[in-house]
Amino acid sequence: MLENHQPEPQGISKRSLPSDIPSLEPRIEVYLEEVCASFRAGLPEETRSALRAEMRVHLEERVAANVELGDTREEAVSRALEQFGESKQVGRAWQRERRGTLLARGASAKLSGRIALLLYVPSCALALFLLQVVNTIILGMSAGYMSPQTVPTIEAISYMAAFLLPVPAGLLTGLLAQGRAVRTTFRTLCLLWLPMAVCYAFRPSSTQSPLQSAGAMLLAFGLFWIPIGCASAGIGGWLRKKTTHLRQRLVLR
Amino acid sequence: MDTERELLKGNTPTLVLAVLADGPMHGYAMAREIERRSDNALKFKEGTLYPALHALEREEFITGEWQREGGGRERRVYAITPAGLAALEQRTRTWKGFASAIRRVIGGETDAGKSPTGTTGDLKAEPAL
């Protein structure tokens, strides 16, 4: 192990981003500019700046090591750049990594979509079932089989179907999906919007016309399920990031 | 030379994980450590280390954090995660199996690492994983 290059356990402050101070050596900056051109389009400014700073630190350390080995400053910079690799070669490596990221992101979006669908389809089915229970109770009341004391039960079930069911599904989507949980949840719920309205419109022994039922479901789904589901997915995603960050801190300690 | 470069390119993430398994490290130290452990046999272009680090971080095999050291220099220090350790174990197993198979085919060696003629073959520069 290179003990002198290990991070010191004491006297270290941890930061999320470095200060992007250009190198005193213009050749290093020109070189970094060339390398960074290869991933300019694909990464946010903050990440690019951090990567550039990281590579700059590496190059400066290599220059210092080369000077220690007896090179002049000029030679040390040339050798450090050579050891780091041609800018085109490093740029190609970044492009390969970028392609890998895009593929992984596509796969992760697909996986998130599957997770959301797997969680929301049963939730929707349960909501329809609960609404059917409510409908049956109302029919029973109007036929005189049930007492008006069942009204609070109807309200509780209706609230559960309208407000509570999208919450666990959204939270779980956020926690399990690798990213883009809110977007994926929104897409999934949009996909389920119409089928839910159709299923609700043609439910057995409905007291409303199919058009009325479909309209009510479209409205309720749009007003409650989609915003509540997306917000829950957002919270789930946030929790996931927080726990990941906590894990990272523990590992680094 | 091209074959060597290609082999190294494909195995850079494994080398990085192997080096980080011994403790957190920054990019420059990793490059030096790989060179040291391989007796300078594995010399790769250091700039290509960073895309590999980025990919490993994306896969959550390693984590990176900027740290300011005593002298005021800021470095991004990487540490291996439990998922990274598991991946390293898997890759090491795969690599050992693969290297052993190749050795048997091209060197005529047995599993015990000796050729029927008693020579050890040419794969001395195998990365220390």
pLDDT tens track of chain A, all 253 residues?
333 444 433 333 444 555 556 666 788 989 998 888 877 666 778 888 888 888 999 999 999 999 999 989 889 999 999 999 888 888 888 888 777 766 666 677 778 888 888 999 999 888 888 888 887 777 777 777 766 666 777 777 777 777 788 899 999 988 888 677 888 899 999 999 888 888 888 877 777 788 888 888 888 888 888 999 999 999 998 888 888 767 656 655 5
**CB within 8 Å: A89 and B59:** no
What are the start-end ranges of the H helices in chain B?
2-20, 27-37, 49-58, 82-107
Work out the mean pLDDT of chain B and round it to a whole number.
Answer: 80
**CB within 8 Å: B47 and A55:** yes
Q: Are A123 and A147 in contact (CB under 8 A)?
A: no
User: Residue A13: its pLDDT value, please?
Assistant: 43
d(CA B102, CA B107): 8
d(CA A103, CA A238): 24
Q: Are A6 and B24 in contact (CB under 8 A)?
A: yes
What residue type is assigned to position A239 of the chain?
Answer: L
Residue B117 structure tokens: 């003629």
CA distance, residue B96 to nearest chain A CA (Å): 23
d(CA B22, CA B17): 9
Band (pLDDT 50/70/90 cuts) for residue B23 is very high
CA distance, residue B118 to nearest chain A CA (Å): 34
Residues of A in contact with B23 (CB under 8 A): 1, 6
d(CA A198, CA A103): 36
Chain A: residue whose CA lies nearest to B44: A83
Q: Are A124 and A196 in contact (CB under 8 A)?
A: yes
**CB within 8 Å: B25 and A244:** no
Task: Give the CA distances from residue A115 to residues A34, A40, A174, in Å, rounded to whole numbers and listed in that order.
Answer: 41, 32, 9
Backbone φ and ψ for B4, nearest 5 degrees, come out as: -60, -45
Band (pLDDT 50/70/90 cuts) for residue B22 is very high
**CB within 8 Å: B51 and A58:** no
Q: Convert the pLDDT of each residue in B29-66 to its tens digit.
A: 999 999 899 888 887 888 889 989 988 998 889 999 88
Q: Are A16 and B64 in contact (CB under 8 A)?
A: no
Q: Convert the pLDDT of each residue in B93-128 to its tens digit.
A: 998 898 888 888 887 665 554 544 444 444 444 444
